[in-house]
């Protein structure tokens, strides 16, 4: 099985929003143990809109987890199935489950539009 994990708001606390793309917060409590447990059981990749190399290096430094990233210009991964390290990518690869702080469960378009409207701060 492959597990996809969003970076901001799931691993990185992300208390100030995007800012200038800087990764400024510490990890969310429990992120290190959870990722290690997920990696023990399954392949894990992290998807982000940030620079994948910066995120991978942050993960190594802050969480002590072996990470690699998709380098610009390199052949992109079609899928990820390595349990020994996480992949950081700006793409959403095939996965059994996506762990994301901004997920919205789709049941129907009618329900989805209601859910979106109820989250609109305006």
Three-class SS state of 69: strand
Span 32-42, average pLDDT: 95
Q: What percent of the chain has pLDDT over 90?
A: 73
- Domain hosting 92: range is 2-119
Q: What is the pLDDT of residues 65-107, one digit of tens each?
A: 999 999 888 888 999 999 999 999 999 999 999 999 887 777 8
Place of tokens 């996965």: 95
Spatial separation of the C-alpha atoms in residues 91 and 99, rounded to whole Å: 14
Least confident range of 11-20, 34-43, 72-81 = 72-81
| β-strands 43-47, 67-69 pairing | unpaired
Average pLDDT, the chain: 91
User: Looking at residue 105, which CATH number applies to its domain?
Assistant: 3.40.50
Global pTM? 0.86
Number of structural domains (the chain) is 1
């Amino acid at each position: 099985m492959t597990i996809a994990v969003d970076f901001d708001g799931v691993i990185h606390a992300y208390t100030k929003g995007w800012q200038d793309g800087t990764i400024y917060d510490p990890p969310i409590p429990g992120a290190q143990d959870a990722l290690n447990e997920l990696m023990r059981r399954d392949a894990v990749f992290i998807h982000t809109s940030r620079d994948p190399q910066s995120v991978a290096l942050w993960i190594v430094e802050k969480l002590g987890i072996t990470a690699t990233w998709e380098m610009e210009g390199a052949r992109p991964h079609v899928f990820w199935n390595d349990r020994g390290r996480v992949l950081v990518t700006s793409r959403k690869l095939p996965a059994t489950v996506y762990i994301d702080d901004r997920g919205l469960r789709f049941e129907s378009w009618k329900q989805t539009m209601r859910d979106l409207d109820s989250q609109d701060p305006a």
